[in-house]
Chains A and B, each alone.
Chain A
Amino acid sequence: QKEVEQDPGPLSVPEGAIVSLNCTYSNSAFQYFMWYRQYSRKGPELLMYTYSSGNKEDGRFTAQVDKSSKYISLFIRDSQPSDSATYLCAMSSGQGAQKLVFGQGTRLTINP
């Protein structure tokens, strides 16, 4: 069993829809949770990060962490075609990028 599981999709939704992307994990020591966005033919870029449990909002994006269920989510409100990308979750037990464990990535398409 992988430490981090993420449904690879693909996920296709109409413009304006609310999108929910999720990851589950098995390592209860994980404390840092990140979401990366990767456009086609580009490297990943950090979108949001959360430390421990709770919610974090940034514009149309909301990240949620439920440590009791070992489940994290990324919500995109009022989705736009420019949000079409692969979204990767990543998490670690401590500071240090070398400790990050990535999910498989979910390919998302927003249809105009």
Chain B
Amino acid sequence: DADVTQTPRNRITKTGKRIMLECSQTKGHDRMYWYRQDPGLGLRLIYYSFDVKDINKGEISDGYSVSRQAQAKFSLSLESAIPNQTALYFCATSDPGQGVETQYFGPGTRLLVL
């Protein structure tokens, strides 16, 4: 079984709709992250959380919100989707106690906003 799972894997929505992307992990890590990946721009950090009570904005948080429901669950919401939020979204976890802090990524969610 995958350690970091994301649902849905693919989503098509319309401009103005609210959508939620979900991430679950079984690695037992406290730290979780949301990234988006766009051609030519690489991975950019949207939000990150170091524990259930800690939420931090990343490089590109405008238009997004997150919720850390439990250690294992971290959700990303687009309150009112717009076409330039069409991208590949990744959730990741990490454990700072293992030397170099390695991130473990989920399989991604492909989002298309029409």
Residues of A participating in the B interface, judged by any CB pair closer than 8 Å: 4, 6, 8, 32, 34, 41-46, 49, 51, 88, 90, 95-98, 100, 102-105
Cα A90 to Cα B103 in complex, Å, equals 11
B42 touching A104, Cβ below 8 Å: yes
A95 touching B96, Cβ below 8 Å: yes
Cα A42 to Cα B92 in complex, Å, equals 12
Cα A44 to Cα B44 in complex, Å, equals 13
Q: How far is the CB of A98 from the nearest CB of chain B, in Å?
A: 5
Collect the chain B residues with CB atoms within 8 Å of residue A104's CB. Answer: 40-42
Given contacts A32-B100, A102-B43, contact A43 B106 (CB under 8 A): yes
Cα A97 to Cα B43 in complex, Å, equals 13
B107 touching A8, Cβ below 8 Å: no
Given contacts A88-B43, A95-B101, contact A41 B107 (CB under 8 A): yes
What residue of chain A has the Cβ atom nearest to residue B105's Cβ? A43
Cα A41 to Cα B33 in complex, Å, equals 19
- CB-CB contacts below 8 Å: B24-62 with A: 31, 33, 39-45, 48, 56, 58
Cα A97 to Cα B42 in complex, Å, equals 16
Q: List 5 A-B contacts (CB under 8 A).
A: A43-B108, A44-B105, A51-B100, A100-B103, A104-B40
Which of B41, B45, B56, B105 has a CB less than 8 Å from the CB of A45?
B105
**Max chain A CB contacts within 10 Å: which of B44, B45, B96?**
B45
Q: How far is the CB of A25 from the nearest CB of chain B, in Å?
A: 13
Collect the chain A residues with CB atoms within 8 Å of residue B103's CB. Answer: 44, 46, 97, 100
Collect the chain B residues with CB atoms within 8 Å of residue A8's CB. Answer: 39-40
Q: How far is the CB of A33 from the nearest CB of chain B, in Å?
A: 10
B42 touching A42, Cβ below 8 Å: no
